Amino acid sequence: MYEYFLEIAFEAELNTKEDPELAAVALEQCNENPDTRMLAINELRKMIIERDEVKPHRTDDEYLLRFLRSRDFIIRRAYRLLVRYYAFREQYPGLQQGVDLWGLVKIRDIYEGVIYDKPDIGRVSIIRFGTWDPSELPADYLLRSGLAVAEIGIRQPKLQVLGTTVILDLEGTTMRQLTAVTPTFAYQIVSILGTSVPSKIWSIHIINYSWIINTFFYIFKRFIPVGFLNRIHFHGNDMKSLQQHIPAECLPKRYGGTCRNHIPLGLWLQKIKKYRDEQFDREMKDLGYVVKE
């Protein structure tokens, strides 16, 4: 049954067509008015040309729309995000350039996604930080995988509108992982989670931690925008507290939920490989990824 669900789900997972049924949600969650959408896109494109701070590899309507949606159609904020996005890519080219996209399946279940998207929550993405073995996978591998997930996800109009809620599960985290978390690593993670990538992050929920959270959060806090700090919630081992923010139907059983539609990144990438099309390959290659048959 689970495999059947995956096959059905992934037939739609790479859909980049606009869904008319999302229009009302886009208006409420992204301030996207269909009557003025093209005016905003053209204004953003004009700003890019006139200010000449950045040379995007694309400026078509579909591409610029993802930046506007992620910043609630506030054009100046969408523009600043676009500038940061390209500055981040230029600063850390090794996160995409020459990266074997399908080779990232080695990440297995460190990242996990719940394929059950709802307004106000979007897609629940889970980072099981304590399962990461730095001696097996270097920190750059985690960063490359996270960025690839973000790039693939923001191709979907549905996820541009509905956004993402992140669960950071620290169960099993020890000094072995923390010693690999440098300030540069922390900055890159924060950038990928939204400050430099056009995605809507509703909230971040940190669970299953101990005293180690003090060191962990101290490293990250300096890079988190002040306005975003109120979206970070600490639940410890209290899953009922977590469920006050995320309904049980959107959570795996291990967090007291009832959702079975969750999938580790390794398997998710295998399904993406199976169902992707020429447009997908072209777009990912344009970003620098190696996309083999």
Map the chain to HEC letters. Answer: CHHHHHHHHHHHHCCCCCCHHHHHHHHHHHCCCCCCHHHHHHHHHHHHHHHCCCCCCCCCHHHHHHHHHHCCCCHHHHHHHHHHHHHHHHHCHHHCCCCECHHHHHHCCCEEEEEEEECCCEEEEEEEHHHCCCCCCCHHHHHHHHHHHHHHHCCCHHHHHHCEEEEEECCCCCHHHHCCCCHHHHHHHHHHHHHCCCCCEEEEEEECCCCCHHHHHHHHHCCCCHHHHHHEEEEECCHHHHHCCCCHHHCCHHHCCCCCCEEEHHHHHHHHHHHCCHHHHHHHHHCCCECCC
Yes or no: domain 1-292 corresponds to CATH 3.40.30.10: no
Q: What is the pLDDT of residue 230?
A: 92
Q: What is the pLDDT of residue 10?
A: 64
Q: What is the pLDDT of residue 172?
A: 92
* Domain ranges across the chain: 1-292
Given a cut of 70, the residues of the chain with pLDDT beneath it are 1-12
Task: Give tens-digit pLDDT for 137-163.
Answer: 999 999 999 999 999 999 999 999 999
Task: Give tens-digit pLDDT for 165-214.
Answer: 999 999 999 888 888 889 999 999 999 988 999 999 999 999 999 887 88
